[in-house]
Homo-oligomer: A and B are copies of this chain.
């Protein structure tokens, strides 16, 4: 683990292809990058924003990019959708070539209280009677957390730990920061020892923080889906026979009633199941949207021509469209 952290800290063998990921080091995206790409064969470069990952891939500074796309509790990552919308055509060559799922387990990290008291004595036992059964916290503090006066984390992580926070840290000041790793860094710097961060177990190791509670997320099945980005399409990639998915973005003429339904009907006609749908403002005309539709199938492995057929039908109804990529479905159902 130490070796991986060093490697990903900006340095890498120049012979190796480079993977840009949403940093900093120890982020969930970093974990995903390490899980997806063998660190003997790839160099890892943290980017300070999702935009940074897109820029690295588009410019060729990185061969691959790893960005979060959606969380099973909190939904789509708006920043990634906005970059995929590519309103200014800045990322014209970027495509999605794969996906990866990470079971996200949040830890409460900080400094143990100076005088250690048992969880029972500190009021940290599970307050069973106070919380309705579907909203019981999944874990309890490992030691007293009564000294905690403020909590740092990313807004998405607060949203995924509401039950634990409501049970054990109700009313404690919350401070939004740009990443869970940044939160761990800030807690490390706070010499009063009264701050805590919600972050990954990797962040505890890297920043040398105490684990105050494990697995504090509301749902056991808290999963984040990531996209792997590359420049252009890998024409040499072999089809494995596994199910595939594709992502398309499009706009419709909003003066034409039913245009959105007409586009979606193109997929239905060809029996291509839709697996997700999202929309973002066009930022050209208020309350007109860029739509994102994910569907089962791949343009590159399309034996019965259904994907090609749907895209050709869609040409009639969409004002503009772009196939953002096709990849192998990695969701374990």
Contact = CB atoms under 8 A, between A and B. Distances in A.
Nearest to A266: B261
A72 B286 contact: yes
Interface stretch (A110-118, A136-144, A268-276): A268-276
Contacts of A261: 264-265, 267-268, 274
B286 A273 contact: no
Interface in A109-164: 134, 155
Contacts of A176: 155, 176
Interface in A68-90: 70-76, 78, 88
A142 B264 CA distance: 49
Interface residues of A, number: 42
Interface stretch (A3-11, A183-191, A277-285, A299-307): A277-285
Contact of A281 (B75, B260, B281): B75
Interface of A: 70-76, 78, 88, 134, 155, 176, 219, 221, 223, 225, 257-258, 260-262, 264-265, 267-268, 271, 273-281, 283, 286-287, 289, 291, 296, 331
In the A-B complex, list the 7 residue pairs whose CB atoms are closest, starting with the nearest: A72-B286, A261-B268, A257-B273, A176-B176, A260-B274, A221-B286, A223-B286
